Chain A
Amino acid sequence: MFGLLAAFQHSAEMRESKDEMLIGEIVRAMARQGYPSIQFRAGDDRQYVRFKTVTDPVLHTVTTVLDRKTGSGALSSAILGSKATLKITAEIQNRVADPDDLIAMYKTDFANIFKMPMIGGIKLNHELNSVFATTTKVIEIDRFVNKGDDGVAKLIELLSGTIGELKAKLEPFKR
């Protein structure tokens, strides 16, 4: 009887842990690209991880926020699957120090950003020294976890493809 209850408890834990498994794979995939994690805020259903893009000449950081929407319970998992939103934000940082350049950057970058606040689902935001591009994807966690090398390959494809798109939008703002 106790064995049965323990097995039930274990399978519930595994179902609830899928988003953590995905975060683990994201952290490893980013580390393999030379992007170590530099900030974590992890709770029950929402995991925020920021990475420093040490090996990238354009980007400064990439942030992922995984927000699980369905599938932590047995019923919702069976009906809806394990849906989550994955928000990815890329940041470039301009260490502009010349006052004339700062004035020029402020004028031109702000004008450009307000002309195109959203490009193909990518939002741009400017915070003086940094420019951010953000996109949010709805994903099925089961596509990536407990699928062995195939799941990892799909995750790497999703991450590198999305980061590449964000980087392309940010490149014109890099000084």
Chain B
Amino acid sequence: MSSPELPALDAAEVHVHTAGGQIGPITRFQLKEKLGAGEVSATDDYWFAGMEEWKPLSSRPELFEGLPDPSSVLSEDDRLDGVFSNLVHASWDYHSDHKFASHIDEVFLGAIITGYLDNGWSLIDINSDGTHHYLRFEDMKDHSRSIVRFTHLTPDLALSEVLGHRASVVVGYGERLKNFSKVWSAIKSEYKSGFLAGDTPGTISVDGDISSQYVYCQVPLFLKIDDYVSRAYEVDYKKLDNDLDACTHALRKYLRARFT
């Protein structure tokens, strides 16, 4: 009498008599796994639908030998689920890249705050609508102030891939002047600055606040945010501190030369 056809690889149809009792129904993949783990012996008897009697596993080794990798044998349901999963995972990666492109400026904003605070400044003003950001710091010892205002110019993923993450940045430095005439002179300069064309990089403009007697010097720049923030959200604080320190130094020198 011929042996019945073997069950499909992923069909739970095999029963086995082991030393510990009867197990099943299990698939042929599971049988192979249990043989490997020593939970089932080749001398144990097995049975599946169509057989007339129980027989030792060793009498039909093709039941569990030479089986393909289970992951390569999938039902249509599992195969389609796999395709769907891959689509979703690829979409997550795409979504992640878009998110990063849209919030790298806010990582930069946090890095500026952290860098300033580490250098002894306190944050005294913050305004942000998600695209335009404004920060004001004060050194509590000498009451000098620093301002950083910036706008992310390339929040779109495609643009940032081509141009990098560019930002227009204005860095300012201010001091409280005791002499009112100096403040008044700064306000006159601010008025004259209004006649100058545009925000040409490197042009230092002057601003004055009569109520607090602060005079500020400001310089517009263009920075590449990716020079400071990596895709892994790591910040190059050394470069950031160095660059902001250089701006503050230049503005302080200019302000003191003109107004003190």
Contact = CB atoms under 8 A, between A and B. Distances in A.
A20 B136 CA distance: 10
A6 B143 CA distance: 13
Interface in B84-106: 84-86, 88-89, 92, 99, 103, 106
Interface in A57-106: 95, 97-100
B167 interface: no
Interface in B164-191: 176, 178, 180
A112 interface: no
Contacts of B122: 17, 21, 24, 145-146
Contact of B178 (A3, A10, A17, A95): A3
Interface in B206-260: 211-213, 229, 232-233, 235
Contacts of A51: 110
Given A20-B126, A99-B81, A10 B114 contact: no
A20 B124 contact: yes
A28 B111 CA distance: 8
A100 B211 contact: no
A97 B88 CA distance: 6
B213 A42 contact: no
Interface stretch (B45-53, B64-72, B127-135): B127-135
A29 to B, nearest CB: 9
A125 B195 CA distance: 55
A158 interface: no
Contacts of B5: none
A18 B235 CA distance: 27
A159 interface: no
Contacts of B110: 27, 30-31, 36-37, 40, 49, 51
A40 B109 contact: yes
A40 B88 contact: no
A37 B126 CA distance: 14
B88 A5 contact: no
Contacts of B213: 2-3, 6
Contacts of B130: 39-41
Interface string A137-151: 000000001100000
Interface residues on B, range: 35 or more
Contacts of B92: 95, 97
B123 interface: yes
B176 A42 contact: no
B125 interface: yes
Contact of A42 (B81, B127, B235): B127
Contacts of A24: 113, 116-117, 122-123, 126
Given A20-B125, A21-B124, A52 B233 contact: yes
Contacts of A37: 106-107, 109-110, 113
B118 interface: yes
Contact of A27 (B81, B103, B114, B124): B114
A38 B111 CA distance: 11
Contacts of A14: 124, 138
A23 B125 CA distance: 10
Contacts of A31: 110-111, 114, 235
Given A20-B124, A23-B123, A24-B117, A6 B84 contact: no
Contacts of B211: 5-6, 9
Given A37-B107, A99-B81, A10 B126 contact: no
Nearest to A55: B233
Which of A21, A30, A100 has the most chain B CB within a 10 Å cutoff? A21
Nearest to B85: A97
Given A2-B213, A146-B122, 7 more contacts: A6-B212, A6-B213, A21-B124, A38-B103, A41-B130, A95-B88, A97-B85
7 contacts: A2-B213, A10-B176, A14-B138, A28-B113, A42-B128, A47-B126, A97-B86
